[in-house]
């Protein structure tokens, strides 16, 4: 499998190149090749970045080390409550609700 490229052998790759040349023509083929190359590079960068993040989170910290902070979530972007912020007061039970007023004709 040393000569395979994405699981495609040399003969199959040559066939696809000739087919692309016939479909798109010699003028558009370099433009399409650049676009495909750009797309593959972006996909490779995204998957390698994701792989690095997963590997970083999967490794257990050594003794005495702390696990790195998790990525920021929308709720974690809020500042911590300061000492100036009063603590919520505990309230007693809710007041009793009396009977409903009689319906008025009208």
Among 38, 60, 58, which residue's Cα sits nearest to residue 50? 58
The two tokens of residue 1 are 């499998």
pLDDT, tens only, 54-94: 888 888 666 666 666 666 666 556 666 665 656 666 666 66
Query: Domain for residue 72, yes or no?
Result: no
pLDDT tens by residue, 21-38: 999 898 998 998 899 899
In a domain, 105, yes or no: no
Domain count, the chain: 1
DSSP 79-103: PPPPTTSPPPPPP-SPPPP-PPPPP
Closest CA to 56 of 41, 71, 45: 71
Q: Cα separation of 52 and 68, whole Å?
A: 14
Q: What is the extent of the structural domain holding 30?
A: 25-60
The answer to whether the CB of 33 falls within 8 A of the CB of 21 is no
Residue 1 pLDDT grade (very low, low, confident, very high; cuts 50, 70, 90): very low
Q: Is residue 55 part of a domain?
A: yes
Structural domain contains residue 32: yes
pTM: 0.41
Q: Give Rg (Cα) of the chain.
A: 32
Please give the span between the terminal C-alpha atoms of the chain, in angstroms, as a whole number.
89
């Amino acid at each position: 499998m040393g000569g395979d490229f994405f699981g495609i052998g040399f003969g199959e790759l040559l066939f696809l190149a000739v087919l692309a040349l016939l479909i798109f023509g010699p003028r558009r083929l370099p433009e399409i090749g650049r676009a495909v190359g750009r797309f593959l590079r972006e996909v490779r960068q995204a998957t390698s970045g994701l792989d690095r993040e997963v590997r970083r989170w999967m490794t257990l910290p050594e003794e005495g080390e702390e696990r790195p902070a998790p990525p920021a979530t929308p709720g974690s972007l809020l500042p911590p409550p300061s000492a100036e912020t009063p603590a919520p007061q505990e309230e007693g039970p809710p007041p009793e609700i009396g009977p409903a007023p009689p319906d008025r004709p009208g």
